[in-house]
Amino acid sequence: MCIIAAKPAGVAMPSNDTLRTMWNVNSDGAGFMYVEKGAVRIEKGFMKYKNFIKALEKVGSRLDLTATPVVMHFRITTHGGTKPENTHPFPITESLGALKKLKSTTDVGVAHNGIIPNTPRKGISDTMEYVISQLAPLKKALPSFYKNKYALQLIENAIESKMAFLTKEGKIYTIGDFNVKDGILYSNHSHEKWYSRYSYGGFSAYPFDSYTWEDDPCSITPSEWVSVSWLPDDCYLKDDISGHLYESADHLIDEIGNVYGYDYANDAIYPLGCTAYTADGVFAQYDEDDAEFLPVLTNRDLPR
């Protein structure tokens, strides 16, 4: 569900191969932010890879990108639809119009990876809603909140996911666990070539390179990615074998009615042998408008 690649000043840009891999796995739009003349410049809304690369190369023609801090974001749609204005990064502002701008200048920008447990207004993403309703007021009260470890802890507790902030001074601040490769901070492993992504047309697979899961024993091994939506709390589940009924909590459903549990530790799902029903006793339905892609855990990785 999206990836952030945060490159500090003095670190080389990711290879074209890595950029392409991130796009292939997270291809619902991209954007980037960088520091120029004491300000954070945001350029986003790239719905084709060639347009993203062309814009990045244009910036590189006037700036030394190795010497420049750059934060990139590649999106998988969760809320708000797949459209240019919902791509990341964003300025921290209460103006919805400013959040939708494809080019903007600000003093601090933000990119997000994950799902924020809020209810966004129609047409915008959970990230945009959080920026408007939470980050913007926090910035007014505490302008340098990103330097305050307690403020960052409060944000992390609320969003249960990951963020990267870039300031006009060229500093990068992160929330959540990022992995570092060649000096670049990645919010997950979808910059590696072993990743695959499920889509409505089937699976798009990418060959393994020299990286193996044994190199990172704390990681999960997703067998596939599935589009799922969260079940309402008033749903209930029926075990397909025993017929036992139990309440739904943190469960999801796919397009054909398969039900999954959610593993918070790995931000992944695992299959359950049950059927979901609404409070009215009818089959629960997958909600395409609120759907997201999540990796399915293999048997050896299932929560114990």
Q: Which amino acid is at 213?
A: W
**pLDDT of 101:** 93
**pLDDT of 55:** 96
Q: 3-state SS of the chain: helix, strand, coil percent to 5?
A: 25, 35, 45
- Distance in angstroms (rounded) separating the CA atoms of residues 277 and 274: 10
**What pLDDT tens digit does each residue of the chain (304 aa) get?**
689 999 999 999 999 989 998 998 888 899 999 999 999 999 999 999 999 999 999 999 999 999 999 999 999 887 888 899 999 999 999 999 999 999 999 999 999 998 898 988 888 999 999 999 999 999 999 999 999 999 999 999 999 899 999 999 999 999 999 999 999 999 988 888 654 443 333 333 333 333 333 333 333 344 578 888 889 878 899 988 888 888 877 799 998 999 998 887 677 889 998 999 998 889 999 988 778 888 888 764 555 5
**pLDDT of 181:** 94
End-to-end CA distance of the chain: 24
**pLDDT of 139:** 96
Cα 271 to the center of its chain, rounded Å = 22
- Distance in angstroms (rounded) separating the CA atoms of residues 63 and 35: 10
**pLDDT of 299:** 63
**pLDDT of 209:** 34
User: Going from the N-terminus, what domains does the chain have, and what CATH number goes with each?
Assistant: 3-186 (3.60.20.10), 223-301 (no CATH)
**pLDDT of 150:** 96
| Cβ–Cβ < 8 Å for 59, 117 | no
Cα 29 to the center of its chain, rounded Å = 12
Closest residue by Cα to residue 251 from 238, 241, 288, 242: 238
**pLDDT of 3:** 94
- Distance in angstroms (rounded) separating the CA atoms of residues 109 and 162: 14
